[in-house]
Amino acid sequence: MTRLSVNLNKVALIRNSRGENLPDLVQVAKDCESFGAQGITLHPRPDERHARYSDIPALLEVVQTEFNIEGNPNPRFLDLVLNNPPHQCTLVPDAPGVLTSSEGWDTIANHDFLKTTIAKLKDKGIRVSIFLDPVEKFVEGAFKVGADRIEFYTGHYAKGYTENPSDAVAEHVKAAKLAGELGLGLNAGHDLNLENLKFYKSSIENLLEVSIGHALISDALYYGLENTIQMYLSKLR
């Protein structure tokens, strides 16, 4: 079964809006796991507008399933991860002021940087995934820089799904096949939701993990967090 990792950035955003600790991010992480989530994801950005760097060690103490830290590997982020080793670190090429992650790495142009960065993380026993568009040459590049996994950016898939699901997923299918041939583990994330998740899961070979935050937390406003997590898990079975 494909694992569900719940991204808690939107929970942190709500917390920060009042300058207090409500909702309590640590308690929400524990509850998500008790409700069936198989991982917790956090993506601290340099301005800390939602997830804070101080959230990382606090979550590391309580997460019992799998902790995935995402982010742009600038020096501050790398220091944070290396000093608080998670199960997985997902490298994302976010510009400092970007609203959300909307494109993957060019693994050819950034070959040397990625190879050096990945080696540092793997030396600490951290599994490394890199955020990619479903482009075969970039998948091959991810293999060459030593990544353990790749995470496909699914934003374009989600937009195209309502018009033509088969066309929307076609490039992902081809790139996933190559990833499997190269021995790369495969994750996916961005704009996956209750409408498009099942089709994506059924189309992609060897999909190990999806990371979902915005849609899941939005759905939880209507269905409740426990019910929502179970609804997402049902799409992955």
- Given the residues 50, 66, 190, 209, the one annotated as active site: 190
Q: What is the pLDDT of residue 98?
A: 59
State which H helix or E strand residue 113 sits in: helix 111-123
Active site residue 190: yes
- Looking at the structure of the chain, the number of domains it has is 1
C-alpha 147 chain-centroid distance: 15
- Given the residues 33, 70, 151, 209, the one annotated as active site: 70
Active site residue 70: yes
| Residue 205 to residues 15, 27, 68, 197, Cα–Cα distance (Å) | 37, 34, 22, 14
- Given the residues 33, 43, 50, 151, the one annotated as active site: 43
Q: Which of 107, 106, 210, 206 is nearest to 158 (CA)?
A: 210
pLDDT in 10s for each residue of the chain, 237 residues:
899 999 999 999 999 999 899 999 999 999 999 999 999 999 999 889 999 999 999 999 999 999 999 999 999 999 999 999 999 999 999 766 655 556 899 999 999 999 999 999 999 999 999 999 999 999 999 999 999 999 999 999 999 999 999 999 999 999 999 999 999 999 999 999 999 999 999 999 899 999 999 999 999 999 999 999 999 999 999
- Three-state secondary-structure class, residue 215: helix
pTM across the whole model: 0.95
C-beta separation of 117 from 75 below 8 A: no
State which H helix or E strand residue 188 sits in: strand 185-189
Environment class of residue 96 by beta-carbon count within 10 Å: exposed (0-12), middle (13-18) or buried (19+)? exposed
DSSP state of 186: E
Structural domain of 160: 3-236
Kindly report the CATH number assigned to the domain that includes residue 197: 3.20.20.70
| Residue 166 to residues 6, 45, 150, 171, Cα–Cα distance (Å) | 26, 34, 22, 10
